[in-house]
Amino acid sequence: MPGRLTGKVALITGATGGIGRATADLFAREGARLVVTDIDQQAVQQLAADLATEDAEVLAARLDVSSAENWSEVVELTRHRFGRLDVLVNIAGVVDWPGIEGTEQDAWERVIAVNQTGTWLGMKAAMPLLRASGSASVINTSSVLGLVGSGAAAAYQASKGAVRLLTKTAAVEYATRGVRVNSVHPGVVATPMIQDLLDEQGDQQPDIVRTPMRRAAGPAEIAPAVLFLASDESSFVTGTELVVDGGLTAH
């Protein structure tokens, strides 16, 4: 039986992280041909080897999402290998926890470079190939912290809020040009990015306490939301925010 992404080529950034790996695994099972990228070349090559089967064609590439030159190289690799690109999933991200006064400028600039600038650079580099698809989808990873304040993580919140509105303006720009653009907003997810905090505070971690479901999500609970936006099932969905947060923003 054909998968929900059969015939599509998808490029995923941050593919070796928790949500990235879960998404890559699900996309492969749903029939996509994949370009998996990460800044850690050894890790992304191992991921490609793990995913590749007779039915799953996977290309691994090292990608620093804050580098325009690196983006151009990866898009060209994609064009050369597959001749097309139908789905771009911007997942790569970093976090810095201090608030306004505690945030150092170099940390601020690093978070903005990866989370915000990296998302824009990815869309800019990939858009010609996506437009040529005629029915493409971009999924940008924001956060519940791109929707509501937390009183901390100033750089991270600023970057994720920017991704939310960057997504909306891109959705309007490309609405009649064959590319849908949406954002996914995870809540607390048990990924390597916050695992130390979860290990330390467990179910008393403040955001978990605020979440009506009183637990963190697993990465595999976020990936199906990305799959829906990547698939043709969401053909009339663009410029929207798909919140996957266990009810955290419901009250």
CB neighbour burial string for 77-114, b if at least 16 within 10 angstroms, e if fewer: bbbeebebbbbbbbbbbbbbeeeeeebeeebbeebbbb
With a CB cutoff of 8 Å and minimum separation 6, the contacts of 5 are 27, 30, 31, 32, 87, 227, 230, 231
Residues acting as catalytic residues: 156
Token pair of 47, please? 């991921």
CB atoms closer than 10 angstroms to residue 246: 23
With a CB cutoff of 8 Å and minimum separation 6, the contacts of 24 are 12, 15, 34, 36, 47, 51
What is the C-alpha separation between 106 and 104, in angstroms, rounded? 6
